[in-house]
Amino acid sequence: MVFANVFGPDGVFLILVILAVLIFGSQAPKIARNIGLAGREFKKAQQEADEEHAREQAAKAVTPPPAVAAPPVAAPAPADERVTLSRAELDALLAAREAQAKQEAKGS
């Protein structure tokens, strides 16, 4: 009756543990060390990936949006032609001309 309980689910597990210790007992420290090293390497790689992600997010937040280039200044149109500009185009054109006037004033 006592032997019937030994070979139940708990008994089988106990026998497997004893066999594992007998067979792999000398290798257990090496296995444990390798598992520990693998865990540390995984944590280190995960930490580096998190830091790199944080740096990328910070770089995206700091980078200003690209500046709108001023449209090229064209030759004056004949008096009978009408030119239509949007508000943004007009502001860009005026800013470019003001900058050009300042540069010419500095140069002379």
Q: How far apart (Å, rounded) are the C-alpha atoms in residues 73 and 89?
A: 11
The residue ranking higher by pLDDT, 42 or 62, is 42
Residue 63 has pLDDT above 70, yes or no: no
Q: How far apart (Å, rounded) are the C-alpha atoms in residues 73 and 45?
A: 54
The number of angstroms, rounded, from the C-alpha of 84 to the middle of its chain's C-alpha atoms is 44
Residue 73 has pLDDT above 90, yes or no: no
CA atoms within 13 A on the CB side of 106: 6
Q: Where are the domains of the chain?
A: 2-62, 68-108
Contact 43, 36 (CB under 8 A): no
Record the pTM: 0.38
Residue 51 has pLDDT above 50, yes or no: yes
pLDDT at 1: 44
Tokens of 8: 């139940």
List, in order, residues 6 or more apart from 95 with CB less than 8 Å away.
70
Residue 39 has pLDDT above 80, yes or no: yes
Residue 76 has pLDDT above 90, yes or no: no
